[in-house]
Amino acid sequence: MIARREFVVRCSAAAAAFAIVGCASLVVHTVPAPQGRVSLALADYPELAREGGVLSLLPEAESDPIFVLALGGGSFAALSSRCTHRGCTVDAEATRLVCPCHGSTFGRDGLVLRGPAEHPLPRYHTVVTGGRLLIDLRRNA
């Protein structure tokens, strides 16, 4: 049996650890986007090395982040983070993106899995070349 004080200390430490892990997933990387293009060295972003990985980017001069999703087999999707229903910022989860405002759910390809959203998330054109992921923010995929 542990004392009440020790119990409170352990619970506080566990809560802090969970908060730190949760915040890590919210990190948004600001990146240059000359002429509406982003170029990422894949080696610099280990979260994209495995299928299911997610990276949140804020291209310079943009107001909203985009999500880069590792789809497996060396392919990636770059999606807007804005829900097409009412413009709330969606949350990236392991297998889907979910709008916290009204519950719209999108697949990792941006397609609507559950409304009220009726339109997919905008998806940007991506190309992998020479260990770099190029994202064209001017061109939808």
Q: Which CATH number is 49's domain given?
A: 2.102.10.10
In a domain, 61, yes or no: yes
The number of distinct structural domains making up the chain is 1
Q: For the chain, first and last CA: distance in Å?
A: 59
- E-strand stretches of the chain: 28-31, 37-41, 54-59, 66-72, 75-80, 91-92, 96-98, 105-107, 112-114, 123-129, 132-140
Give the pTM: 0.77
Residue 12 is predicted with a pLDDT of: 46
In a domain, 123, yes or no: yes
Residue 140 is predicted with a pLDDT of: 82
Residue 11 is predicted with a pLDDT of: 45
User: Which residue type sits at 127?
Assistant: V
Residue 39 is predicted with a pLDDT of: 97
Name which of 97, 95, 72, 93 is nearest 83 in CA terms.
Answer: 97
What residues make up the domain containing 42?
A: 28-140
In a domain, 18, yes or no: no
Strand 91-92, strand 96-98: pairing: antiparallel
Mean pLDDT per block of 10 residues along the chain (141 residues) reads 53 39 61 95 94 94 92 94 94 92 94 96 96 92 68
